[in-house]
Amino acid sequence: MTDSEDKPSGGTLTLVSTPIGNMGDVTLRALEVLREADAVLAEDTRRSRKLLSHHSIGSKTLIAYHDHNKERLTPGIIDRLRSGQNLALVSDAGTPGVSDPGFYLVRAILAEGLSVTAAPGASAILPALTLSGFPTDAFIFEGFPPRKRGDLGRVVDALAHERRTVVFFVSPHRLRTVLKAIADEHPERMLAVARELTKMHEEVVRGTATELLTHFSETKVRGEIVLLVKGVGRRGQSRPGDP
């Protein structure tokens, strides 16, 4: 089979990573893809329009694509690709397809034998991991913690034997709930809260689960948050001062 026969026909969807805060954190290729795309699928068109305007990309068709309309819009997007259009997909911030509706769209496009590629770039996961000071050789991303108490309890229970660094996305209004659930079961477990990464008020707060629960119980929680849980060490539960 030749290369031309291997390549899917039609247009291509490109997953474009966008800044998680600082507008300068965008790649040259990402800007090129956004300029040349026939349309940009955006989780939040207002935020995406600001990004495009900041980088002098005007007259671009923006299509709102999010959790509430993904089932309805996906067939039309597939038709656009079949007709030869090249589309770009962006999320609110960071890499599309991670804890957002991009996964649904990619799966549907692949099932149709159409082309998907990526213009990689910003993501909150790796900066938070590297800034935490926790081991980076093995980690697991768990997305957003479950909202139901029982499901959250099972996730917290699983931390007892988890040797890898665990990474969560947590909304500001649920941070205390999640910290309390961990502190109740693993009070001395080392955690890090990375907040507002790349923005003016960026901070990374490190300490035991109990310490961080106390800290954020006395502080108004705002911004985008990544919560990291240090893995259990070879000699047992991680403690302050452990390497």
CA–CA separation, 99 and 108 (whole Å): 16
Last residue of a domain, one of 103, 119, 135: 119
Q: 7 in a domain, yes or no?
A: yes
CATH number at residue 199: 3.30.950.10
243 pLDDT above the threshold of 70:
no
Looking at the structure, do residues 107 and 174 belong to the same domain, yes or no?
no
60 pLDDT above the threshold of 50:
yes
- Nearest alpha-carbon partner for 115 in 1, 2, 15: 15
Distances from the Cα of 181 to the Cα of 121, 128, 177, 222, angstroms: 33, 21, 6, 20
* Amino acid 99: pLDDT: 81
Q: 188 in a domain, yes or no?
A: yes
Cα 200 to chain centroid, rounded:
20
Looking at the structure, do residues 79 and 175 belong to the same domain, yes or no?
no
Q: 234 in a domain, yes or no?
A: no
- Tell me the mean pLDDT in the region 54-79: 94
pLDDT-based confidence at 7, cuts 50/70/90? low
* Amino acid 74: pLDDT: 97
Looking at the structure, do residues 74 and 136 belong to the same domain, yes or no?
no
70 pLDDT above the threshold of 60:
yes
Looking at the structure, do residues 113 and 133 belong to the same domain, yes or no?
no
4 pLDDT above the threshold of 90:
no
Q: 243 in a domain, yes or no?
A: no
- Tell me the mean pLDDT in the region 20-32: 95
∠ at Cα 150 (165, 153), nearest 5°?
30
Cα 39 to chain centroid, rounded:
22
Looking at the structure, do residues 110 and 176 belong to the same domain, yes or no?
no
CATH number at residue 103: 3.40.1010.10
Looking at the structure, do residues 106 and 197 belong to the same domain, yes or no?
no
Q: Domain range holding 160? A: 125-229
Summarised one tens digit per residue, pLDDT across range 162-189 is: 999 999 999 999 999 999 999 999 999 9
* Amino acid 9: pLDDT: 75
Instruction: Spell out the residues 6+ positions from residue 132 whose beta carbon is closer than 8 angstroms to its own.
Output: 165, 192, 194, 204, 206, 228, 230
Looking at the structure, do residues 70 and 48 belong to the same domain, yes or no?
yes
Burial of 207 per CB tally in 10 Å (0-12, 13-18, 19+): middle
Token couple for 203: 């901070």
Residues in the chain: 243
Last residue of a domain, one of 75, 104, 119: 119
- Residue where the block lists tokens 């893809």: 33
Looking at the structure, do residues 26 and 114 belong to the same domain, yes or no?
yes
Looking at the structure, do residues 71 and 137 belong to the same domain, yes or no?
no
240 compared with 229, residue with greater pLDDT = 229
Instruction: Decide the pairing of beta strands 87-90 and 190-195.
Output: unpaired
135 pLDDT above the threshold of 60:
yes
Last residue of a domain, one of 119, 154, 189: 119
Looking at the structure, do residues 147 and 222 belong to the same domain, yes or no?
yes
38 pLDDT above the threshold of 90:
yes
Each residue of 10-30: b (16+ CB within 10 Å) or e? bbbbbbbbbbbbeeebbeeeb
Domain count, the chain: 2
23 pLDDT above the threshold of 60:
yes
- Inter-helix orientation angle 70-82/102-111, to 10°: 40
Helix (H) or strand (E) holding 72: helix 70-82
Looking at the structure, do residues 104 and 190 belong to the same domain, yes or no?
no
How does the average pLDDT of the chain come out, rounded? 91
Looking at the structure, do residues 8 and 115 belong to the same domain, yes or no?
yes
CA–CA separation, 5 and 22 (whole Å): 42
Q: 196 in a domain, yes or no?
A: yes
* Amino acid 66: pLDDT: 94
Longest dimension (CA), the chain: 64
Q: Which residues pair with 18 in a beta bridge?
A: 94
Summarised one tens digit per residue, pLDDT across range 111-133 is: 999 999 999 999 999 999 999 99
